[in-house]
């Protein structure tokens, strides 16, 4: 329950990061809904990743390890290279994917905290890390493509307003809980202003 409260508070702080943006789709040059849906799909993998890490730690009698600097660096480097091939600034791409990684960790840390305190249900991983990682990699590639396709909207002065509207649409469509809402806000925050 504490994790959900923290997630809700985080969502409010992250909403404030969008300034005075109001969720309005009026005069939106390009919809960012597909992009925010991709972020939500990538974020949905965090539950599986957390469950796999929890199962491994339980089996081995260790604490779950969330941080994986080697994997994070690999993602950052691969996406920077792919982004450059799509004409996207490397620094921006790295910031966006650090946001994806941070958002994923928000979910993982919160879920593991709940499981550690025996808040049901105890997870059964749907797949292991070697199975879910190619899904994440595919979503990363799709995010880069969508960033390139919607770059005009992402660099426009109205980006925060339109992005927030798309985030809210994605939240409504996916019926996400406060934890995933907060994480989605973190994932979306670096998208504007490349």
Q: What is the DSSP string of 21-74?
A: -----TT-SS--HHHHHHHHHHHHHHHHHHHHHHHHHHHHTS------HHHHHH
Distance CA 121, CA 179 (A): 16
- CA angle (134 as vertex; 128, 135 as ends), nearest 5: 90
Whole-model pTM?
Answer: 0.82
Predicted pLDDT of residue 175: 84
- The encoded tokens of residue 99 equal 């946001």
pLDDT digit string (tens) for the chain, length 194 residues: 344 333 333 343 344 444 333 333 434 445 899 999 999 999 999 999 999 999 889 889 999 999 999 999 999 999 999 999 999 999 999 999 999 999 999 999 999 998 888 776 667 666 788 999 999 999 999 999 999 999 999 999 999 999 999 999 999 998 889 999 999 999 999 999 76
Predicted pLDDT of residue 62: 93
Instruction: State the CB neighbour count (10 A cutoff) for residue 78.
Output: 15
């Amino acid at each position: 329950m504490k994790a959900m409260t923290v997630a809700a508070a985080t969502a409010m702080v992250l909403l404030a990061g969008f300034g005075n943006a109001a969720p309005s789709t009026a005069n939106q040059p390009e919809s960012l809904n597909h992009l925010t849906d991709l972020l939500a799909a990538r974020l949905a993998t965090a539950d599986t990743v957390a469950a796999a890490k929890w199962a491994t730690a339980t089996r081995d009698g260790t604490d779950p390890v969330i941080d994986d600097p080697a994997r994070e660096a690999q993602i950052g480097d691969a996406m920077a290279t792919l982004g450059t091939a799509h004409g996207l600034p490397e620094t921006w791409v790295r910031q966006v994917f650090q946001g994806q990684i941070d958002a994923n960790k928000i979910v993982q840390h919160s879920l593991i905290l709940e499981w550690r305190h025996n808040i049901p249900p105890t997870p059964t991983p749907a797949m292991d890390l070697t199975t879910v990682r190619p899904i994440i990699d595919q979503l990363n590639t799709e995010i880069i493509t969508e960033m390139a396709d919607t770059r005009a909207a992402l660099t426009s002065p109205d980006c925060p307003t339109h992005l927030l509207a798309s985030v809210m649409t994605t939240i409504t469509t996916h019926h996400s809980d406060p934890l995933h809402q907060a994480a989605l806000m973190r994932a979306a925050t670096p998208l504007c202003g490349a």
